[in-house]
Chain A
Amino acid sequence: MKRGMNSGRLLLLAIAIVAVGVFALPSTVSLFSGQHRWYNISSNENQIPCKKCHADVYEEMMSMEPLSKKLAGKSSSPHSYMDENCELCHRTCFNMSYNPSTGKYEPSSGFIYASGAGTGSVSGVEAHAASTIECMDCHGISTDSGGGKWNHYGYEEYNGRCYLCHGGTGFYRGKDITVPFRDYADFISAGGFGLGTTGTDTGEHAAHKAFVLDSINDTKMEGSNEACIACHTSIPVKIRWTHGRSLEFNASYDKGLVLPPTHFNTSKYEANGTVNVTSYGNCTGAANTTKFPEPVTVWG
């Protein structure tokens, strides 16, 4: 009797497994859902949804300004409108390179990225979908007459999207918006370092010039990006400062000094000794010298 019961259950189980298999197996042959539906990349501009993999980057971009403010065209940050336009930077046609012999940023040939589909498609040369970029690729441009080095308004990634950088009217998230006009010449130049970003860029008083030049020499990031993003983004920064400890100089009595009541000439100024102090700055810009203030990063 017990054996009969077991046989019945076994049969039922077998039928259930077969039934499940009939319906389920064909769907599991393809490892992932959606892997046989490709994004249409037939246009020459980027059509891959970058944020599908880079939601963290997307949320950082979205957190810069409220969406309502952006849709009203009132965002003060040009980058905030690039939340869904990664290609403006990471597939840029601009390529500025620092020339150590001249001490200036100079135009180089832009990268060729993969684009299109089927016949007429372009294989990437230096990069496929995207490249790491140097902030100065855009912010180091000395001049762009349009018909010169980079006829960039005809570049597929930029065509019809002038407003994102220059201001004006454009199509953003399904509606036409107008953002304040920002001009065309020298409007985003990171001038003031003497790196040739404008015709009048002397940089002779730049407190951070060494920072920029050292960043260029450091290979952790491209070009001067370490310096750019340390100051301009929400990354926490820790700096081990070695300051001069004391100011030393001579003060010599000079009875002939004609600046009463001053009777001392000062000379031989020196900064002597060293003091080590560590500076911790968090994502909000808060700071102290013992540890990172909380929250340290934008992610808590």
Chain B
Amino acid sequence: MFRFLISRLAQAVVVLIVLSAIIFIISRLSGSPVDIMLPQGATPAQRDALIHRLQLDRPAWQQYLAFLKDAVRGDFGVSSRFHTDTLSLVLSRFGNTVLLALSAIIIAIVVGVPLGTWAAIRGGRVDSYISTITASAQAMPSFWLAILLILVFGVVWRLLPISQFQSWSALILPAVSLSVLPFVTITRVTRSSILSVVPQHYIDTAYAKGLPGRVIVVKHILRNAMIPILTVTGLMLGSALSGAVITETVFAWPGMGALAVEAIQSRDYSVVQCIAMLAGLVIIVVNLLVDISYRLLDPRTRIAARE
């Protein structure tokens, strides 16, 4: 277990370093930032001074090392729009994104796990209806669903607030529209995981003992089918935390994704870099935790690794 932890951790760090290199290269594709930063009518001497101050006259690998060193210390520079520290600006929005992502995942679990279980246990017509529902939900563009929700609940029925975050009811519509993709995945994984548990001998034993169906489903089937469901929920949480860009923009939700779009529109590159790095970090950490918890929860994977 210890060796597994170390090697997985090392792998995560390597991926993180490669990611920072990619972000660095992308940010340099735009050419020199000097021309944007200089005031009009600046002299060549002022230009050289700025190039020297930004260390753009040094070789690219030295610039990258400097970028990496700053990134490790959490120094992503100053936002050119808000004139504040980039990292603290991004982190101030991160809390709202966490709130939104968690709500979406909870909705997806509460709806998806029972539906997936029902589809697997009942089979036949029910299964086929539920797979039609998930296929339709998968084809639904999240922003179109968002617009339809705004139209129905905000404009026609005037039940719920449709933008910003002024009351808790404002959380409902964005969370519902963000929950669709995790819902599809969780429902499908629940169904196939349960189908792989049902033929096991211990389920036969439970039936032979004469246990009621409900007890078998909850205590024997669902419990043993839980690991893939937990894993995929973790992965979905990672992508919801970092991928809520469009949903947040539609609802003007003050989160990290909406900040990324604003930053791009105002050419605030340091904020974009910081968000890309933070989102990548979140996904890498979540994947790492999922891998580790998989080992902890299912003794079979540990034995398989040893053999």
B is a partner of A? no
Which residue numbers of A lie inside 8 Å of B, CB to CB? none
Interface residues of B (CB under 8 A from A): none
